[in-house]
Amino acid sequence: MGNDAVEIAINTIKLVVCFLLIVQAVPVLVWLERRGSAFIQNRFGPNRIGPLGLMQLLADAVKFLHKEEFAPAKAVKFLYYAAPVVALVPATLAFAAIPLGAPVHWDQYVFPLQGYEVSVGIVFVLAVSSLAAYAILLAGWGSGNKYALLGALRASAQVISYELALGLAIVGIIMTYGTFNFGEMIHAQEGPLHFSFMGHELVLGFLPNWGIFYQPLGALIFFAASFAESNRLPFDLAEGEAELVAGFHVEYGGFKMLLFFIGEYGHMIVASALMATFFFGGYGLGFMTLAELSASVATVVQDPNIVSLVTSLITFAVFSVKLAVFLWIFIHVRWTLPRFRYDQLMDLGWKTMLPWALFNTILTATLIYVGHL
């Protein structure tokens, strides 16, 4: 945690802030989703309460808190109440390990702008988010409802299937940068596009040095699989209103339902953050390296502590913009595409994405081997 009281205090506060970030982003995302869907479908959406309808979120939250506390008679009580809590944990744990900005150097301290630093961050995030299937299964079985159980089986089978494609799609980018660490990966994506291939130095100055230019196929598979991982349209077979009423959370109401909601949006946020970190330079500015940025900040202010702080805030803003773009794509896709049929979903996962991800891995390995020869 740290060596003295100041460091321990700051690190503890950071953990709380990371948790609150994800919980507080959810109402905003819900508002964005409702306004965005209205925009796409040529409606108004919530626009009565507060400016732009923003207070609608507060009204919703209060409503959820005041709903009757209710558990179905056939439910297994312990699992029924445990499931919403379990749903919240993986997304928040995973998000806390993703760097949101450049580390702050303040006197002798170094504070990374993330909940905690894990040296093999990618493995950690994959490991923690693979536990999300338990929340779905617990909710489906614990509710004592056929529809809930069917929804849970669908959702967990989907999550497990697409985890493979997701993991394999990342292997390419891990091989390209040769690291499991988010910080090192972001550092490797700084500056304009430059790489050495078979002894030739190649520089493409008009493009940033981002992962997507090395791994376009991997990026595509990763992004598509992350839609399925977070149970969003076009892969929201778990909900399938016409077939399953509402899926695994059909027996949940009030704040318990809201916890599932936060978990689902949390997965979306984690997926967007990973997408930005792997393929779009993370908190990096694209053409400008971190050293150049902090040098240009240093021309305005002198104090090195303030320079470091301002640099990190700028990188945090850059990261937030990238995150927001991907979140908006998530929402836009949901209101644009129809739902897959279940056999199509499994075909896409196992027969299309997995072979292509394997091909991408082999291709990357070959290119790296040939390129470094």
Partner 1 sequence: MSMDSFLFWFLAFITIASAVTVVTITNPIYSALALAMTMVGVSAIFVTLGAYFLAGVQLIVYAGAVTVLFVMVLMLFDLKHELSAFSRGQISGTIKVATAAALAGLLIGAIVWTVSGFERVVSKPAAPDSADGMRELSHALFTKYVFGFEVLGILLLIIAVGVVALARAKGGTHAQR
Q: Which residues of this protein are in contact with partner 1, per CB under 8 A?
A: 79, 118-120, 123-124, 126-128, 130-131, 133-134, 137-138, 140-141, 149, 152-153, 156-157, 160, 163, 167, 179-181
How far apart (Å, rounded) are the C-alpha atoms in residues 316 and 114?
10
Q: How far is the CB of 153 from partner 1 (least distance, A)?
A: 7
Q: How far is the CB of 12 from partner 1 (least distance, A)?
A: 15
Nearest CB to partner 1, comparing residues 47 and 181 = 181
Is the CB of residue 210 less than 8 Å from the CB of residue 189?
A: yes
How far apart (Å, rounded) are the C-alpha atoms in residues 90 and 68?
27
Q: How far is the CB of 237 from partner 1 (least distance, A)?
A: 15
Q: In the chain, at which residue ranges do the beta strands (DSSP E only) sit?
A: 104-106, 109-111, 192-197, 200-208
DSSP summary character for residue 252: -
Around Cβ 299, how many Cβ atoms within 10 Å?
8
CA dist 112 to 39, 125, 152, 179, 194, Å?
Answer: 38, 17, 38, 18, 27
104 Cβ contact partners less than 8 Å away, ≥ 6 residues apart? 110, 111, 113, 308, 309, 312
Nearest to 172 by CA among 208, 127, 128, 217: 217
Nearest CB to partner 1, comparing residues 181 and 289 = 181
Nearest CB to partner 1, comparing residues 156 and 294 = 156
Nearest CB to partner 1, comparing residues 158 and 272 = 158
DSSP string, 229-266: HTT-TTS-TTT-HHHHTTGGGTT--HHHHHHHHHHHHH
Nearest CB to partner 1, comparing residues 152 and 273 = 152
Nearest CB to partner 1, comparing residues 167 and 192 = 167
Identity of residue 201: E
Angle at 271 between CA 269 and CA 272, to 5 degrees: 65
Nearest CB to partner 1, comparing residues 131 and 321 = 131
Q: How far is the CB of 182 from partner 1 (least distance, A)?
A: 13
Nearest CB to partner 1, comparing residues 163 and 251 = 163
Q: How far is the CB of 116 from partner 1 (least distance, A)?
A: 12
54 Cβ contact partners less than 8 Å away, ≥ 6 residues apart? 31
Q: In 108-223, at which residue ranges do the beta strands (DSSP E only) sit?
A: 109-111, 192-197, 200-208
Nearest CB to partner 1, comparing residues 40 and 123 = 123
How far apart (Å, rounded) are the C-alpha atoms in residues 311 and 294?
6
Q: How far is the CB of 27 from partner 1 (least distance, A)?
A: 29
Q: How far is the CB of 152 from partner 1 (least distance, A)?
A: 8
Nearest to 275 by CA among 348, 221, 233: 221
How far apart (Å, rounded) are the C-alpha atoms in residues 273 and 99?
9
Nearest CB to partner 1, comparing residues 131 and 204 = 131
Q: How far is the CB of 358 from partner 1 (least distance, A)?
A: 15
Q: How far is the CB of 132 from partner 1 (least distance, A)?
A: 9
How far apart (Å, rounded) are the C-alpha atoms in residues 273 and 317?
13
Is the CB of residue 285 less than 8 Å from the CB of residue 316?
A: no
Given phi > 0 = left and psi -120 to 50 = alpha, else beta, which region is 150? alpha
Is the CB of residue 229 less than 8 Å from the CB of residue 267?
A: yes
Q: How far is the CB of 70 from partner 1 (least distance, A)?
A: 23
